[in-house]
Amino acid sequence: MQSVGKSVRRVDAVAKVRGMADYVDDIFVKDMLQAKVFRSTIANGRVKKLDVSRARALPGVVVVVTYEDVPKHTFPTAGHPYSKDPKHQDVADRRLLTDRVRYYGDEIAAVVAVDELTAVKALRLIDVEYEQYEPILTAEAALIDGAVEIHEGTKNIIARSEYQLGDWEEALAQADEIFEDEFSTSTVQPCALENHGAYAYMDASGRVVVCTSTQIPHICRRVVGQALGIPWGRVRVIKPCVGGGFGSKQDVVVEPLVAFLTTVVGGRPVKLVLTREETFIASRVRHAIHFKFKTGVKKDGAIVARQLEAVSLNGGYASHGHAIVDNSGEKYRHLYDQLAIKFAATTVYTNMPAAGAMRGYGIPQVMFALDCHMEDIARALRLDPLDFRLKNLNKTGYTDPILGITVRSNGLPECIAKGRRLIRWDEKKAARRQQSGPKRRGLGMACFCYTAGTYPLNLEIAGARIVMNQDGSVQLQVGAVEMGQGSDTVFSQMAAETLGIPVDMVHLISEQDTEITPFDTGAYASRQTYISGMAVKKAAAEIKDKVLRHCGLMTGISPQSLDIADAWVVDHKGARVMPLAEVALDGYYNLACAAPFTADVTNSATTNPLSYGCTFAEVEVDLATGKVKVLEIYNVHDSGKIINPQLADGQVHGGVSMGLGYALYEQMIFDPATGEPLNNNLLDYKLMTAADTPEIGPAFVETDEPTAPYGNKSMGEPPVMSPAPAVRNAILDATGVKFNQLPMNPHRLFERFKAEGLI
Amino acid sequence: MITKKINCTVNGRQVSIEVDIRASLLDVLRDSLHLTGVKKGCAVGECGACTVLINGEPYDSCIYLAVWADGQVINTIEGECKEGRLSKVQQAFVDEGAVQCGFCTPGLIMSTTAMLQSGKKFTREEIKAELSGHMCRCTGYQNIIKAAQKALED
Amino acid sequence: MYDIVNYEEAGTVQEAIRLLQANPRARLIAGGSDLLVKIYKGKITDAELVSLRGIIALKDISIEGDGTVRIGACATFSRIAGHPLIRKHVPVLAEAVSRVGGPQIRNIGTIGGNICNGVTSSDSAPTLFALNALLRLEGADGTRVGPIQDFYLGPGKVDLRQAEVLTEILLTKENYQGFGGHYIKFAMREAMDIATLSCAAVCKIVGQNVIADFRLALGVAAPTPMRCLRAEEIARGRVFSEELLLETGRTAVTEVNPRTSWRATREYRLQLVEELSKRAFKQAFVKAGGVLL
């Protein structure tokens, strides 16, 4: 291949290194007003009295809006495609502003002022009295009979689901040993460097225009329409450059409120950019999930029965809701084999920040639990942990009876073999028998599987549009969103590949506008290279077809025997016929049959491949202080054919770094009595700095996925899925202590080491 | 509104401007001088996205009062590309895949530029220490360090 | 924009004192990295500031004829860490201030601001306590010089009177010459963090391994930075050994009374006090020229 598979320079790198990439807050709009949200200082309760008169009177304040001024209806916020089936629609439990407070920081009122400082000072002039209820901060508290309902009529349950395959009792009876264990993961936050922000104004015809940092422009448009109760066609969403998302922007967070506020101030532009402290609690967090396993195994290591019960904490509002833990249940089923399997999950409301999508969507959680559980079983049975996993993996050809998807490429065994070599697993294991010093070293690994997109559970469509210029170069528009992962570059490569032109003749229009950008549900589920990529391929193929037909008209040569290579039309022998530019020019200006070459296509996905990977980690544990140093870490991925190796490396670097943060450093901490967030800032929330991050080694095993546009599978989320269990297993190897809870920070290690007598 | 007149050099140009005493240098650079390459990530000097060079040294402009800029030489990302040519550091960031979402990029380029301009030699560990005042969620810092090493090599 | 209603620049220390006298609401600002964040968080509203940044003399670092090292209160952490006089005579202080935040913070933050902020987690304080640093304060009532140990009154509170300016930190020769020192900042991150527990140890030896003098100071082990006087006492005159280290750690634990907070439990802090005291002492011993057996 000419472009696909090459480490082509990012198409947006130059703009970004020059400081020329415009993010929401960089865009200058005349007469822009600034909004700030008045947030609750209790976690559960109701506003009894609200006095905004002093705030309204402050010079520079344009308007103060409260829950009494907003529509009464509720709307959903999740970045899922709309479903025509009411049973499949997202939970609509948000109001623009609320008097029923459901988490510390909930949105009660909004101030619009001439500048930010005035708005901040106005917030201080708002007086509020609450009727307080006991904050519900655990699943147990949420599910107690008679507990205060966070949302009326729900008994604090968003949803429950379960599945079962095979004959459970019969399978369990075949087990030589049964293992039961529990694991808990933590609440962490995506921490994209660009805080959530948007501005909105009304154009001359009264349509609401929202410019926002979003992963989902088209879905955002629909939700703003729903929130305001206006036809979706009266809303326009613009996406400029996005400074990271990691799932927190696969949700409609600030847009409905700014859209509403602009209607209140006569269409004047209103901007709302969250502070870092607000982004932590008022955007989205990762679901903390509690897992309970029961696994029946034969002594030779064959798993016969697997059961998982999971409880997922969703916070005060549904957002993506139960879909996360359902996803956990899905990949739990996909990775390993058994005779019978049972899964049951519940997602509950709590008085905490809303949990939504975050890179991995339930899989970093379940893979932590699952692959730690697998490790423990292997050790208990005295089996090699790698062989135990390999023995029970689902192989190529596996078809999931519930979703109907089939595995056509599976490089996981090769990934495991490669990781084992890279970290010198066998050599180090052999050298390290008994350790006795104050620092202990250990090796651990873990694996995962993932899908590309959400077929068949949800609609999976993607649009792409290509227009060829007179000189043979093209504009490419996709509805898929660039948020740093490199999708703009990868699509440019794909279009170039199929068109037969150099990448620099493809100009991908990065800024999106729902008025003109093709429909696509957006950047999530690691779907874009697989699904939107196929749309790009189709569009490019259509353009190429039109070019060759037109060239056929110009030359009399049959289009079937023509091709395009390196921006030249060539014949079946590869000999040059004419420059592509000549055909393109003629396409524009031929007096008899001008028709500029354009293509506007939709891809609808009906397949979903599994991608795989593993992490191998070596740690050194300082027993006395509980600090863990990661000495070596490798992630080996089967993501099919790698479209851009440098970008793929980058995804692994970032995902592993996020996975290490998940394993060792990060957690959101709340006051157990009041639910007040204690560490919603970048000092107390321990995001790793360069000084904390070890060298990260990405590696790939390239399979060729036949259902993909270029053999590719999901790459964006996978890297964050297996570092945490690999590090936990390495700590276990080093110290003999099992940690079944995240994060494995020095405090926790100290407590356990003390309890186990290691120190 | 109380203002104070400051005279400083920004990206090689003399600037004479009345600044609000309440304003941070970040506010003035972005809102008055339209140098929006300098980013606001946290407003409290934790993330480094607002890093500019003042007399050749990196500072978080969000916690630097605008009035303090009087008499100082300030460099922001916008001044690095001269006559359409990327600086050595900018080119290294492009070549080494050190850019993903780009939000942390301008600040990191400025700190790396300070290292280059110092003329000193830096080991990999020292590079990490010099860049430890910047947070990045996309890259795991790997290619950023590679880019810095590339820019600093002779 | 910060909630600032008044800003004045003092050209001299005397002018700063006059401005503070004239306005009881006025606060001094040097680097601003603590103060501006407090204003941002709304802990201080309608702030009235008197800036010390224009007073060149306050940034000075020099050495007197009698060997006293004088550090201007407005000297930044970067300046101190890189200054030849500091690196030569009190390298442990250079080490300690190098652990503050990150490079950008070290370029703006000042040692005077760090001390006057009065927090037990200050990175400069334990070392200054261990070196018996003296502070010079100039105010409306004249000048006074006193030990840093007396300056810290409680969490976030120091003995800085209204209309008073901390102008210098003084390190006398008998308190640094011949000492080897080591500072450990134990935090959850290697940069951009506040200490969970910090420890400064300085020692002077006789021969290869006899402890002539030993000072041990801790941060975040108590409401203010503190010295472990009992641990120091038992070390003086002893031959350095693993036994002595263990005793030092155990004794230091008896001198502290940390509390449990959401940041760390009491038990963990005690563990760190014991462990880090040993590690810091060992390193200080080696840097003092001691030979480990």
Closest CA to A674 of A206, A104, A167, A183: A104
Which chain A residues have a beta carbon less than 8 Å from that of C192?
Answer: 682-683, 689
The per-residue pLDDT for range A469-509, each reduced to its tens digit, is 999 999 999 999 999 999 999 999 999 999 999 999 999 99
Minimal Cα–Cα distance from A619 to chain B, Å?
18
- The span from the CA of A466 to the CA of A754, in Å, is 64
Which chain A residues have a beta carbon less than 8 Å from that of B105?
Answer: 16-17
- Tokens standing for A414? 């090769």
Q: Provide the residue ranges of all domains of chain B, joining segments of one domain with +.
A: 3-77, 88-152
The per-residue pLDDT for range B9-59, each reduced to its tens digit, is 999 999 999 999 999 999 999 999 999 999 999 999 999 999 999 999 999
Which chain A residues have a beta carbon less than 8 Å from that of B35?
Answer: 19
Number of helices and strands (H, E) in chain A?
19, 27
Which chain C residues have a beta carbon less than 8 Å from that of A686?
Answer: 188-189, 193
Mean pLDDT along residues C206-223? 96
CB-nearest to A690 from B47, B134, B138 is B134
Model confidence at A592, pLDDT cuts 50, 70, 90, reads: very high
Which chain A residues have a beta carbon less than 8 Å from that of C102?
Answer: 689
Q: What is the CATH number of domain C56-174?
A: 3.30.465.10
Closest CA to A136 of A323, A384, A316, A3: A316
Given CATH 2.40.37.10, say whether it is the number of domain B88-152. Answer: no
For A669-714, the three-class secondary structure string (H helix, E strand, C coil) is CECCCCCCECCCCCCCCCCCCCCCCCCEEEEECCCCCCCCCCCECC
Inspect the interface and report whether the beta carbons of B37 and A484 lie closer than 8 Å.
Answer: no
The per-residue pLDDT for range A285-314, each reduced to its tens digit, is 999 999 999 999 999 999 999 999 999 999
Q: Determine the residue of chain A that is closest to C263 in CA distance.
A: A684
For B39, what's the count of Cα atoms within 13 Å in the CB-facing half-sphere?
A: 35
**pTM above the 0.95 mark?**
yes
Which chain B residues have a beta carbon less than 8 Å from that of C33?
Answer: 45, 63
Model confidence at A432, pLDDT cuts 50, 70, 90, reads: confident
- CA distances B143 to A71, B45, B93, C170, Å, are 48, 23, 8, 44
**DSSP designation for A339:** S
- The span from the CA of A562 to the CA of A545, in Å, is 10
Q: A434 CB contacts (<8 Å, ≥6 apart)?
A: none
- Tokens standing for C286? 């080696």
What ipTM was reported for this prediction?
0.99
Minimal Cα–Cα distance from A481 to chain B, Å?
12
Please spell the DSSP secondary structure of A554-606, one letter per residue.
HH---GGG-EEETTEEE-TTS-EEEEHHHHHHHHHH-TTT----EEEEEEE--
Q: Is the pLDDT reported for residue A19 higher than 80?
A: yes
For A289, what's the count of Cα atoms within 13 Å in the CB-facing half-sphere?
A: 34
**Direct distance between the N- and C-terminal alpha carbons of chain B, in angstroms, rounded to an integer:** 50
Helix, strand or coil, per DSSP, at residue C185: strand
Q: Which of C49, C104, C192 to mutate to test the interface with B (most CBs of B within 10 A)?
A: C104
Looking up tokens 């999971």 gives: A310
Closest CA to A462 of A404, A520, A410: A520
The CATH architecture one would assign to domain B3-77 is Roll (3.10)
Q: Determine the residue of chain C that is closest to A116 in CA distance.
A: C1
Helix, strand or coil, per DSSP, at residue A463: strand
Inspect the interface and report whether the beta carbons of B63 and C32 lie closer than 8 Å.
Answer: yes
Which chain B residues have a beta carbon less than 8 Å from that of C7?
Answer: 2, 4, 21, 65, 67
Inspect the interface and report whether the beta carbons of A649 and B43 lie closer than 8 Å.
Answer: no
Q: Determine the residue of chain A that is closest to B144 in CA distance.
A: A690
Which chain C residues have a beta carbon less than 8 Å from that of A751?
Answer: 265, 267-268
The per-residue pLDDT for range A713-755, each reduced to its tens digit, is 999 999 999 999 999 999 999 999 999 999 999 999 999 999 9
- Tokens standing for A359? 């890179």
Closest CA to A497 of A703, A595, A641: A641
DSSP lists the bridge partners of residue B18 as: B5
Closest CA to A93 of A368, A331, A322: A322
The CA angle C199-C205-C210, to the nearest 5 degrees, is 105
- The span from the CA of C277 to the CA of A409, in Å, is 56
- Tokens standing for A24? 């929401």
The per-residue pLDDT for range A442-454, each reduced to its tens digit, is 999 999 999 999 9
CB-nearest to B141 from A23, A244, A690 is A690
Inspect the interface and report whether the beta carbons of C275 and A690 lie closer than 8 Å.
Answer: no
Q: What are the two backbone dihedrals, phi and then psi, of residue C137, each rounded to the nearest 5 degrees? A: -120, 135
Which chain A residues have a beta carbon less than 8 Å from that of C265?
Answer: 747, 751
Model confidence at A700, pLDDT cuts 50, 70, 90, reads: very high
Q: Is the pLDDT reported for residue A57 higher than 80?
A: yes
**DSSP designation for A214:** -
Mean pLDDT along residues A16-26? 98
Inspect the interface and report whether the beta carbons of B109 and A690 lie closer than 8 Å.
Answer: no
Which chain C residues have a beta carbon less than 8 Å from that of A750?
Answer: 267-268, 271
Q: Determine the residue of chain A that is closest to B22 in CA distance.
A: A117
- The span from the CA of A87 to the CA of A322, in Å, is 13
Q: Is the pLDDT reported for residue C258 higher than 80?
A: yes
Number of helices and strands (H, E) in chain C?
12, 14
The per-residue pLDDT of chain A, averaged, comes to 97
Model confidence at C293, pLDDT cuts 50, 70, 90, reads: confident
- The span from the CA of B125 to the CA of A35, in Å, is 43
**Direct distance between the N- and C-terminal alpha carbons of chain A, in angstroms, rounded to an integer:** 58
The CATH architecture one would assign to domain C179-287 is 2-Layer Sandwich (3.30)
- Tokens standing for A488? 């703009």
Cβ distance C206 to C212 under 8 Å? yes
Neighbours of chain A (3+ CB pairs under 8 A): B, C
- Tokens standing for C153? 């009154």
- CA distances C90 to C107, C176, C198, C206, C278, Å, are 20, 6, 18, 19, 21
pLDDT of residue A434: 81
Minimal Cα–Cα distance from B7 to chain A, Å?
24
Domain C4-51: which CATH number of 2.60.120, 3.30.43, 3.30.2010, 3.40.50: 3.30.43
CB-nearest to B63 from C7, C9, C36 is C36
Neighbours of chain C (3+ CB pairs under 8 A): A, B
Mean pLDDT along residues A635-654? 98
pLDDT of residue A262: 98
Length of chain C: 293
**What phi-psi label fits residue B53: left (phi over 0), alpha (psi between -120 and 50 degrees) or beta?**
beta
The per-residue pLDDT of chain C, averaged, comes to 97
CB-nearest to B63 from C33, C102, C190 is C33
Mean pLDDT along residues C250-275? 96
Question: Does A673 contact C at CB distance below 8 Å?
Answer: no
Inspect the interface and report whether the beta carbons of B67 and C7 lie closer than 8 Å.
Answer: yes
- Tokens standing for C128? 């200054």
Question: Does B43 contact A at CB distance below 8 Å?
Answer: yes
Inspect the interface and report whether the beta carbons of B134 and A18 lie closer than 8 Å.
Answer: no
Portion of chain A with pLDDT greater than 70, in percent: 100
Q: Provide the residue ranges of all domains of chain C, joining segments of one domain with +.
A: 4-51, 56-174, 179-287
Mean pLDDT along residues A199-208? 97
- Tokens standing for C97? 């201030």
- The span from the CA of B122 to the CA of B124, in Å, is 7
Looking up tokens 């004479």 gives: B16
Cβ distance A156 to A142 under 8 Å? yes
Inspect the interface and report whether the beta carbons of B142 and A653 lie closer than 8 Å.
Answer: yes
For A435-451, the three-class secondary structure string (H helix, E strand, C coil) is CCCCEEEEEEEEEEEEC
pLDDT of residue B154: 74
pLDDT of residue A282: 98
Cβ distance A569 to A619 under 8 Å? no
Q: Is the pLDDT reported for residue A329 higher than 80?
A: yes
Question: Does A751 contact C at CB distance below 8 Å?
Answer: yes
Model confidence at A433, pLDDT cuts 50, 70, 90, reads: confident
Cβ distance A258 to A272 under 8 Å? yes
Q: Could you say which residues from 79 to 108 on chain B have a Cβ atom under 8 Å away from some Cβ of chain A?
A: 80-81, 86, 90, 93-95, 97, 99-106
Q: A678 CB contacts (<8 Å, ≥6 apart)?
A: A669, A670, A671, A684, C262
Model confidence at A361, pLDDT cuts 50, 70, 90, reads: very high
Which chain C residues have a beta carbon less than 8 Å from that of B24?
Answer: 1-2, 36
Exposure string over C152-163, b if 16+ CB within 10 A, otherwise e? beeeeebebeeb
Helix, strand or coil, per DSSP, at residue A642: coil
Q: Is the pLDDT reported for residue C133 higher than 90?
A: yes
pLDDT of residue A427: 96
Minimal Cα–Cα distance from C192 to chain A, Å?
7
Which chain B residues have a beta carbon less than 8 Å from that of A485?
Answer: 100, 138
Inspect the interface and report whether the beta carbons of C42 and A124 lie closer than 8 Å.
Answer: yes
Q: Is the pLDDT reported for residue A316 higher than 80?
A: yes
